[in-house]
Structure 1
Amino acid sequence: MRIACMIRYQIDPFQLDAFRRYAEAWGRIIPRCGGDLLGYFLPHEGSNDIAWGLIAFDSLADYEAYRARLKTDAEGRDNFAFAREHRFILREERSWLEIVDAAFRLSAATQASA
């Protein structure tokens, strides 16, 4: 069963650039450590203090292996330290979701060629 971790962040809306830097770093770190990064998302309209991250894994065992690699990744540790130092994340919540493969990663281009 494929799973996804959806991370909901409550962030300091006056530190969007710091959160963007944090999210961009995960773009390098997460795939290197074994996660399938689907994206990080900043607030655009509506609430100005909620951001999201979405990471997929083939199984819970793959997630556990990812977490072990993440703990030994120097850039990952530095990114966590950056967030603690600058305090732009006020709250973080994780939800675990089962991926519906038939409705996962579909784009308009994919559908047009089907």
Structure 2
Amino acid sequence: MSITCFIRYEIEPTGKADFERYARNWGQAIPRCGADLIGYFAPHEGSATTAYAAYTLDSLADYEAYRSRLAADPLGRENYAFAQEKKFIRREDRIFLKLVSAPHAAPVRP
């Protein structure tokens, strides 16, 4: 059974470009450190301050090992420092969920 970490970010209204750079960096570091990155999602329409990320791991034990690798990764360290310096993230909330609706049917196309 795998788990998916969903992260909800509250970002500065003027911080979208910084968040997008941050997301692209994680797009390189997260898979390298062992998680299956679903993606980072920045504001497009509606709220200018809400962003999301999601990635999957096999277990919470794998999550702990992944977090250690990410903290030691050069790009990971650089990205943490970038976020601290620029202060574009106001809040970050994580939740771990498991998929319970699988298997899914194939989509029907009109």
Shared fold per TM-score greater than 0.5: yes
How many residues align? The count is 108
Q: Distance in 2 between matches of 1:75 and 1:111?
A: 38
Report percent identity of matched pairs. 54
Q: Show CA shifts across 1:73-108 (max 9, x none).
A: 11101000000000000011011101237257x8xx
Gapped regions of structure 1 (runs ≥ 5): none
Q: Residue 71 of structure 1 aligns to which amino acid in structure 2?
A: A
The structure that is helix-richer by fraction is: 1
Calculate the aligned-residue CA RMSD, in Å: 1.7
Kindly report structure 1 stretches of 4+ aligned residues shifted beyond 2 Å: none
Gapped regions of structure 2 (runs ≥ 5): none
Q: Distance in 2 between matches of 1:103 and 1:53?
A: 23
Q: Residue 45 of structure 1 aligns to which amino acid in structure 2?
A: E
TM-score scaled by length of structure 1: 0.87
TM-score scaled by length of structure 2: 0.90
